[in-house]
Structure 1
Amino acid sequence: MARKKLDRVHATTALETIRESPAIALVAAAPALVVFAIVWWLAGFGTALLLLIAFGVVGFVVAKLR
Structure 2
Amino acid sequence: MSKEIDPARARSAIEVVKQHPGMVLFLASPGIVAVVAVWLLAGAGWGILLLLALVVGGGVAVARKLR
**TM beyond 0.5:** yes
Inter-partner Cα distance in structure 2 for 1:32 and 1:18: 17
TM-score for the superposition, normalised by structure 1: 0.70
Aligned residues: CA RMSD: 2.7
Higher RCO structure, 1 or 2 (CA under 8 Å, sep 6+): 2
Gaps of 5+ in 2: none
Unmatched segments (≥5 aa) in structure 1: none
**TM-score, reference length from structure 2:** 0.69
Contact 2:31–2:54 under 8 Å retained in 1: no
Number of equivalenced pairs? 63
Q: Share of identical aligned residues, percent? A: 37
Q: Indicate the larger mover: 36-45 or 56-65.
A: 56-65
